[in-house]
Structure 1
Amino acid sequence: MKGKKIVAATALSALIIGGAFSYANTSNEPIQPPEVGVIGQEQVKKVDVPLDTFKQYGITFDLDRKVIHDIAGNIIIQFKDGESYDVNGDMVTYDEFREIIKQYKGMGVHSTDPNASILEVDALMAGVNPEGKTNKEILEEIRPMHELTQLKYEAETMGMDISDLSDEEVKAKVDQEREVFIQNSIEESIEQLKLAYQLDAKAYQEAGIDLTDKTDEEIKTMVYEMYENPSIRIPAQDGWFANVDKVSTQILNMFFDLILIEGDKTLSKAKELGVDTKGHDIGSISTINYSMEKAIEMGMDIEGKTSDEVTDMVQEELRKKHMEETGQTEEEYYADRP
């Protein structure tokens, strides 16, 4: 979606990469061969480099100039007043920004300011203007955006079509369909395991996987218990130890997705604790579960409070305790938690 414009920033100086080319042509046309008889530096100047070539490399967030550029110095995204724009000055939405960044191989950060905070990078990337704000204020603005991003990613991994949905509709859809998707996936994994087991039951039994006379629910319980202790610790060189997956774990990994298993356990715990999961990704729900249990352990009065409010209470107590133990200031504490 295109919106208001700003004056486009001047492109960064092009880089010479190993002498292969001296400037970037951001078209997607094929590289043109040098003309006959043109050699040396003249030949270099005739090379056109397609934009896709640069997508094979990482990109750099230049915090001093408030731009993101590719390896050849071409500006990809520029920031002004907390908003994102492309090189032409057209506003870029947060989702469009994410799609652009995903095309490249990672991102580094450059700044000449030794006191520059990574939070400023996170803020700009989340569409939050960090100027004049404390680290705590920046974090409070970033987190909802970050969580929504994680939720959308979760929806995409589950095959949900959320392209035409509003943010609130995405939250509702994920909350309604996530548990069913996870349970169906695990049930399908159990069926596949049972079919494979029938082909050579003895081999599975020797690996510690015995499905004899077990119901699907009992198989699920067995699998979950096996994943509680998935590896063995063996001596390595120089007194170090290495964790090696058990044979049973290696077999289960062929059928089950551990991320889905952890998600199922997290959602089950949330139900048990009465956590409101709407609008939260699995990682956040896990944090809320922990906070709810911690609040009970600490004897906090949580009667009538939402799970989000309880989480804030617990995190505040843990923050105070951490600052007392480490001597950190509030700004230092939040700077360490992007």
Structure 2
Amino acid sequence: MAGAFARPRSSGPLAIWVVSDGRTGIENQALGLAEAVQRLTPADITIKHIRWRPLFDRWPSALKTRAMLDPASDPLDAAQPDLWPDVWIATGRATLPLSTRIKERSGGRTFVVQTQDPRWANTRYDMIVAPAHDGLSGDNVFEITGSPHRITPQRIAGAAPAFAERIVPLPHPRVAVLIGGKSKAFDLPPDHAADLADRIAAAVKASGGSLMLTFSRRTPDAAKAAMTARLSDLPGWIWDGTGDNPLFAFLHHADHILVTEDSANMAAEAASTGKPVHVLPMVPLKSGGKFARLHDDLQSRGATRAFDGTLDAWTYEPLAETDRAARAVLEAMSTRATA
């Protein structure tokens, strides 16, 4: 991370570009980290979307040139060095060809942060903020539990009033259920989904509480139908995907959070609330690996437990890994500025 940092932070708010292909789950990693930096120091955030022409999208990163960018991409040129950002925070494969070249194009001005494991040219970024369960190592690697995200107590509290009329009357304990879906490592066939639903229903009924459930875009339709059929008679709300997303309000009002084991992001985000996080089993398509490492990490922190059919409560220190990564970014920038 050695080298001169062209613009001292004292000269004004940091200029941060958040760069991704625009998919919400990908963008939120970079945006969450940028917002965490902004909470620590004055900063202006600009969102940029990278898209490649369809013919070149799957080409290796090393072969891509700016001429292959889709015209729908946001402008990424700056006529003068002072117009380049102080910090470039990028996520996803689409950003790699530009992330590795931005320092040269900015005349050394820009501090380049890549989230996730780039799996290509890893030494060419000033910092990689990577999930610890990926097992990445290197002098420029900063490991965190899970991935950067946008969930903070303030953000979920701010989202709650818009849904209060529907949620506040629900009886306690309120149980937020976050259902994922089919992936390379896990599946959610209808029979397994039905069994999960029966176990969730039994726990909610035994507690006298209520249900707040949301499905992901990856949840198979058959699994949705099976779970909805078995849970729809409970007090609560099964969000059907129409209207504004109540996820943050669910997290704010929940007494317990149940999350399927297939999503590293969902589990780590839920653990940032400090509320009991019960992990729901999926049908594994392969054993061990990074998901097992993540869940071992979360359990060791006291944040999660395997769902055993009950709604026992416990406490732990909420995860604040995105804030920790943001501090590391600013410290690395400061070190480079004085090197």
Give the structure-1-normalised TM-score.
0.30
Structure 1 or 2: larger helix share? 1
Give the number of the structure with larger relative contact order, counting CA–CA contacts within 8 Å between residues 6 or more apart. Answer: 2
Structure 1 or 2: larger strand share? 2
